[in-house]
Amino acid sequence: MDSLFGKPPARRIRPSKCANTGVRSSLKNGKGLETESSLEHDFLVLLDFDNRVERYEVQPVTLRWVDNGNEFIYTPDVLVKYTDDARDINPSLKPTLYEVKPHDVLKRDWRKFEPKFRHAMSWARENGVRFKIITEKRIRTPFLDNAQFLLRYHSSTFPYSSTEGSDERYVLNSLKKTGETSVKTLLLYMSQVKTRQAELIPWIWRLILEEKIGTDLDKPLTMTSTIWLAQRERGV
């Protein structure tokens, strides 16, 4: 299955007047990946945010088969590979083929999709991977909004510097002293000066992204969100 990574897409996505196609700059892969819809783009955001994901590819493999004299062709949307550490914790996290579809489209066109999905499941079992269908009900949640916000503070784009990590240590040490608290309360504990608070708040978001600070990402992330010192697994 590793042979499917690092290759050009099995099917190229062309610009379309009917679909919201585009390119997602992948943090995990270090390159731009074509997306066929805004929903697929949002799913890739979640994959970049998911610390269990090692890498992923779009349009990874094209399946071809004949059934009752009819030829079928199907290319799943995304192939995801999970880290060894994630699989040690959860052995079910095999490499996974994902099909990304709006729920109403699945419901409307299920008869058309079913033979393709059934064959994809069979192919996946034979090749030691999983096949899963994911819709906006799992993708477009407050978790996605939080992921989009926090990824602005990824190390590759983080615009703030800190001498020998002093601000990072200061935030973590302050939270250790206050214990579980809100973002706003921690900020006020660290400084009453607005300009200093403006320097420190990006570090809170960055440390949440790095999972050095914990919070409930299934709820909208605000200044009143409860935070704590923690290391925990996250993912869709």
31-35 and 53-58 beta bridge pairing: unpaired
Residues 187-202 pLDDT 10s: 999 999 999 999 999 9
What is the three-class DSSP state of 80?
Answer: strand
**How far, CA to CA in Å, does 202 sit from each of 152, 173, 208?**
10, 16, 10
pLDDT in tens, 6-56: 777 667 666 555 566 778 888 888 888 888 899 999 999 999 999 999 999
Give 196's contacts (C-beta < 8 A, 6+ positions apart).
190
**Tokens 């890498």 sit on residue:** 55
